[in-house]
Structure 1
Amino acid sequence: MWRGGRDFDTVEIPLPEPGPGETLVRLTAATVCGSDRHTVNGRREAPCPSVLGHEGVGVVVSTNGGHLVDGSPVSPGTRVVFGVARSCGRCEICMRGLTAKCTSVQKVGHESFESDWPLSGTYASHILLREGQAVVPVPSSLDDGVAATAGCAVATVMAVLERAGDLSGRRVLVNGLGMLGLVAVAAARRRGAAAIIAVDPNAARFGLAQGLGATPVSSETGDAGTVDVSLELSGSPTGTRSCIDALGIGGTAVLAGSVSPVGATEVDPEWIVRGWRTITGVHNYEPRHLQEAVEFLESVGDDIPWKDILDGPIMADQLAEEFRRNDVQRLRTVVRM
Structure 2
Amino acid sequence: MPEHDPHPASPATLTARPVGREVVLPRAAEAMVWSGVGLPSDAVAVPGVLLGLGDVLVEVELATVCGSDVHTALGHRPANKPLVLGHEQVGRIVAVTEKSYAANGMSLRVGQRVVWSVTVSCGTCPRCRRGLPQKCIELAKYGHERMRRGWELSGGFATHVQVRAGTAVVVVDEQVPATVLAPASCATATVVAALGAASALVPLAGATVLVTGAGMLGVTACAMATDAGALVIVSDPDAARRQLALAFGAAAVADPGAPCESPTGVASVLTALQQAGAAEPTIALELSGARPAVKTAIDLIGIGGVVVLVGSVSPGEAVVLDPESIVRRLVTVRGVHNYTPGDLAQAVAYLSGAWHRHPFSALVGATFDLAKADAALALAATARHPRVGLTPQPPATLG
Percent identical residues:
41
Taking the TM superposition and a 5 Å limit, the aligned residue runs for 1:181-330 are 181-193=218-230, 195-214=231-250, 215-221=252-258, 222-224=265-267, 225=270, 226-306=280-360, 308-325=362-379, 328-330=383-385
The 1-side partners of 2:158 and 2:328 are apart by 53
Which of 264-273 and 65-74 deviates more?
A: 264-273
Q: Secondary structure at the match of 1:283?
A: coil
The 2-side partners of 1:46 and 1:109 are apart by 10
Are the counterparts in 2 of residues 32 and 334 from structure 1 also a CA contact under 8 Å? yes
Q: Cα distance, 1:328 vs. partner?
A: 4.9
Q: Which has the larger radius of gyration?
A: 2
Select the residue among 72, 89, 104 that pairs with 1:70: 104
Aligned counterpart, 2:181 = 147
Answering whether residue 154 of structure 2 is matched by residue 100 of structure 1, we say no
Q: Secondary structure at the match of 2:206?
A: coil
Are the counterparts in 1 of residues 93 and 112 from structure 2 also a CA contact under 8 Å? yes
The 2-side partners of 1:4 and 1:125 are apart by 21
Q: Secondary structure at the match of 1:208?
A: helix
Q: TM-score, normalised by structure 1?
A: 0.96
Q: Cα distance, 1:116 vs. partner?
A: 4.5
Q: Deviations over 1:76-114 (max 9, x none)?
A: 110000000001111111110001011110000011112
Answering whether residue 115 of structure 2 is matched by residue 81 of structure 1, we say yes
The 1-side partners of 2:387 and 2:229 are apart by 27
Taking the TM superposition and a 5 Å limit, the aligned residue runs for 1:149-188 are 149-165=183-199, 166-188=203-225
Q: Cα distance, 1:272 vs. partner?
A: 2.3
Query: RMSD value over aligned CA atoms?
Result: 1.4
Q: Cα distance, 1:317 vs. partner?
A: 0.9
Which of 258-267 and 88-97 deviates more?
A: 258-267
Q: Cα distance, 1:332 vs. partner?
A: 0.7
Q: Cα distance, 1:251 vs. partner?
A: 0.3
Are the counterparts in 2 of residues 228 and 247 from structure 1 also a CA contact under 8 Å? yes
Q: Cα distance, 1:174 vs. partner?
A: 0.3
Q: Secondary structure at the match of 2:246?
A: helix
The 2-side partners of 1:264 and 1:171 are apart by 27
Aligned counterpart, 1:28 = 61
- Do the aligned partners of residues 256 and 4 (structure 1) sit closer, same or farther apart at CA in structure 2, a change above 3 Å counting? same
Return 5+ residue gaps in structure 1 as ranges: none
Select the residue among 35, 49, 72 that pairs with 1:3: 35
Select the residue among 312, 317, 332 that pairs with 2:387: 332
Aligned counterpart, 2:170 = 136
Q: Cα distance, 1:211 vs. partner?
A: 1.8
The 2-side partners of 1:328 and 1:269 are apart by 35
- Do the aligned partners of residues 76 and 234 (structure 1) sit closer, same or farther apart at CA in structure 2, a change above 3 Å counting? same
Are the counterparts in 1 of residues 65 and 377 from structure 2 also a CA contact under 8 Å? no
Q: Deviations over 1:15-70 (max 9, x none)?
A: 21321111111111101112111111111221221111110111111112211111
The 1-side partners of 2:333 and 2:161 are apart by 37
The 2-side partners of 1:303 and 1:134 are apart by 27
Q: Cα distance, 1:307 vs. partner?
A: 5.5
Return 5+ residue gaps in structure 2 as ranges: 1-32, 259-264, 271-279, 393-399
The 2-side partners of 1:83 and 1:307 are apart by 20
Q: Cα distance, 1:10 vs. partner?
A: 1.1
The 2-side partners of 1:174 and 1:323 are apart by 26
Are the counterparts in 1 of residues 76 and 314 from structure 2 also a CA contact under 8 Å? no
